[in-house]
Structure 1
Amino acid sequence: EEYYKHKASGDSTIVKLSDIEKDVRKTLREAGVPDSMIVVSELGNYRNRDMSSTFLMAKRLSATVSDFDQIERISDRLDRKGIVCFNITKIDNSDMGQYNRQGLKAALDAARQKAEFIAENEGLKLLMPYEIVETTNEPSMYSAFSNVAYDGGSGMENMRRIVRRYSVKVRYLFQ
């Protein structure tokens, strides 16, 4: 968001949105985020006119990063002046396919263990699965990240884990 830079003489000048954006984009590039992964997601500002008659322009940039190290570099280098919000909404990871397979395997193993328990309890023999339906491999519906707080000094040590949930419906043949 634009802000006023105060001079020693008592005067102040407005720091334009284009200057702030230029610095933010430079910081993102230096952290390894290419321009192609940065998009403008919102432009404008909503001010409560009862609180202040001053209207400052604001712009929201969304960037996709590939690892937590990039977030650390951005957080360490980003000039806080003119930044009113910094949220992590998405991290793309090149290992996500492997994580998805591991999650699916764990869900299949859990289904098999449950079927083995049922077979043993009922005096049946577990033969083989005859239907497997993956019911979800999406991230959990609740927020997977917390905000990175600047002023509280809390930084990355307060990040929460990324949580993904996997579910399968497996029907087994029993004898």
Structure 2
Amino acid sequence: MNRESLAGQWSQARQVLSPNQDTRPHQEVSLLLLHAISLPPGQFSGDAIEALFTNRLDPHAHPFFAHIAHLRVSAHFLIRRDGQCLQFVDTDQRAWHAGRSYWWDSTRSSWRSALNDFSVGIELEGDDQTPFTKAQYTALVEATCWLMARYPALTEKRITSHAHVAPLRKTDPGPAFDWAYFRQQLSSRRVS
């Protein structure tokens, strides 16, 4: 790999290569999508999320895994409950995280689809009911600041949830995610 191909790797994240990625059709990165995931559902820790994003999930390890082991999905980042960050896809590449989704781009005054083309996906280890940890918010703010410095089109107004862009399919990161706290922490960090 040449140095240029490593440009979208965040130095504070542990690098875990996912095969579920490809080249962006253009270089604009202007949307941050926040997700939540726990595998098995409602359980935290373990390597199941990492296994899913690297196509190594054992369908026999848990009854739920039989339904999802065939999926070819990824995210750019996963932030664990303790704040540890894993990066699966270089942010200059397209991760497969948004699925069938639509987003109103007020800058263009139009609906946009194919969100993976221009978004970064961050998964938070969690679910809709369990509050996220302070360590997760801290890591999320740090990652978001790095992304905003790297991609000038990515502003605070261009951060949204998977639930917002796929409301009939997804609920994450759910009501347990404290948007006000996250935005306050992000604003404070960006001012200092």
TM-score, normalised via structure 1 length: 0.27
**Which one scores higher on RCO, CA 8 angstroms, separation ≥ 6?**
2
Q: Which protein has the bigger helix share?
A: 1
TM-score, normalised via structure 2 length: 0.26
